[in-house]
Amino acid sequence: MKVGITGAAGLVGSTTAFYLAVQDLVEEIVLIDINEKLLLAHTWDMEQAVMDVSHTRITSGGLEALAGCGLVIHCASVNESNAKSRDECLDQNCAILRSIAQAVAAWCPQAILITAANPVDVLNYVFYRETGFPRERVIGFSRNDTLRLRWAISKREGIPMESVDAISIGEHGFATVPLFSRILVDGRPHPYDSAAQEEIRGAIVNYYTNYQNLRTGRSSGWTTAVSLVQVCRKILLDDPAPVPCSVVLQGEYQLEGLSLGVPVRLGSGGLREILEVPMDAGERAGFLAAAQKTKDHIRHLLGE
């Protein structure tokens, strides 16, 4: 398969391209970005870096180079280094996405799309509307919230991350909803009181702001790259194991007209199944609040 990555000169795009390339899972990765010199530098460097460990070809080009792609990972974004929340870049990132959506629809109309620009849930729905693709082929990347929930629990308990089974759904952002009622440690239920829940949730929802406050000028490139490629593997290897993603809801969870993070099964055709998980009353309220926030942003962008 040929995979296209937009925003490939940026941190998330370039790290994702490199990590996907070393997996030796695809025939070609085409890198696309408006920063032509940095894009070419990444292309040369990456091409040489993987030549002894992978058969994947690394190429670059303009949007027309998306022709023939079976998978497109959209990472193109404005610089978020001074943003306090993922929502601050909404209008600018939507403008970028709309131009990419037109190119995708024109050059690779059968591709599966993965949205990895923020705010993911809102932009994923706009991608769905702008391309006219079926929802099965428009998937938003939101796995990091679940990863950080497991990380926060493992840090608090002093246990390996692999011992923790947990998921966070809803918005990829401040309105994420950790499902504390479903947390397992070593396969057994692990309840938390309200104070502990707030501590753990704070570690997740404040992560973006705390990271930005370091003022390093970068985002969480390695984390996102590894998690993004895990999602890609589900598609490329037709692996139905559940994974959290933002997908367009059409009645699931009694919601429609938006994209939101939920557990799903993916496969070679994209979205295979949406899994509806039980929630307690507090979790359900948080999930509905995330849905309303996302819908409000969508109405702002689409004028509906």
Share of the chain above pLDDT 90, in %: 88
As a 3-state breakdown, the chain gives helix, strand, coil percent values, each rounded to 5, of 50, 20, 30
* Residues 119-128, mean pLDDT to the nearest whole number: 97
pLDDT at 210: 77
pLDDT at 216: 78
pLDDT at 184: 98
The residue whose two tokens read 């990456």 is: 46
pLDDT at 85: 58
pLDDT at 176: 95
| pLDDT at residue 18 tops 90 | yes
> pLDDT band at residue 222, thresholds of 50, 70 and 90?
very high
- CB contact at 8 A, 64 and 30: no
Known binding residues: 7-13, 33, 93
* Residues 281-292, mean pLDDT to the nearest whole number: 98
* Residues 18-38, mean pLDDT to the nearest whole number: 98
Strands 188-189, 184-185: pairing is antiparallel
| pLDDT at residue 207 tops 60 | yes
In whole angstroms, what is the distance from residue 114 CA to residue 136 CA?
11
The residue whose two tokens read 């180079």 is: 65
Inter-CA distances, 46 with 9, 64, 68, Å: 11, 21, 21
* Residues 221-226, mean pLDDT to the nearest whole number: 93
Domains of the chain: 2-141 (3.40.50.720), 143-302 (3.90.110.10)
> pLDDT band at residue 4, thresholds of 50, 70 and 90?
very high
How does pLDDT run across 231-271, given as a tens digit for each residue? 999 999 999 999 999 999 999 999 999 999 999 999 999 99
- CB contact at 8 A, 107 and 64: yes
In whole angstroms, what is the distance from residue 282 CA to residue 287 CA?
9
> pLDDT band at residue 149, thresholds of 50, 70 and 90?
very high
Strands 184-185, 112-115: pairing is unpaired
In whole angstroms, what is the distance from residue 298 CA to residue 304 CA?
8
Which pair of tokens denotes residue 24?
A: 């030796």
* Residues 14-32, mean pLDDT to the nearest whole number: 98
Exposed, middle or buried by CB within 10 Å (0-12, 13-18, 19+), for 276? exposed
In whole angstroms, what is the distance from residue 65 CA to residue 4 CA?
8
| pLDDT at residue 304 tops 80 | no
pLDDT at 81: 59
In whole angstroms, what is the distance from residue 259 CA to residue 113 CA?
14
pLDDT at 279: 98
What average pLDDT does the chain have?
95
In whole angstroms, what is the distance from residue 123 CA to residue 120 CA?
5
* Residues 143-148, mean pLDDT to the nearest whole number: 95
The residues, any chain, with a CB within 8 Å of residue 192's CB and separated by 6 or more, are 180, 183, 200
* DSSP track, 205-265: HTHHHHHHHT--S---HHHHHHHHHHHHHHHHTT--S-EEEEEEEESGGG-EEEEEEEEEE
Helices 11-22 and 221-236 cross at an angle (nearest 10°) of: 50
| pLDDT at residue 51 tops 60 | yes
SS3 286: helix
* Least confident stretch, 117-121, 191-195, 212-216: 212-216
Known binding residues for NAD(+): 7-13, 33, 93
The residues, any chain, with a CB within 8 Å of residue 71's CB and separated by 6 or more, are 1, 2, 3, 4, 26, 111, 112, 113, 114, 232, 235, 236
How does pLDDT run across 52-106, given as a tens digit for each residue? 999 999 999 999 999 999 999 999 998 765 655 566 788 999 999 999 999 999 9
Catalytic residues: 172
* Residues 163-176, mean pLDDT to the nearest whole number: 95
pLDDT at 180: 97
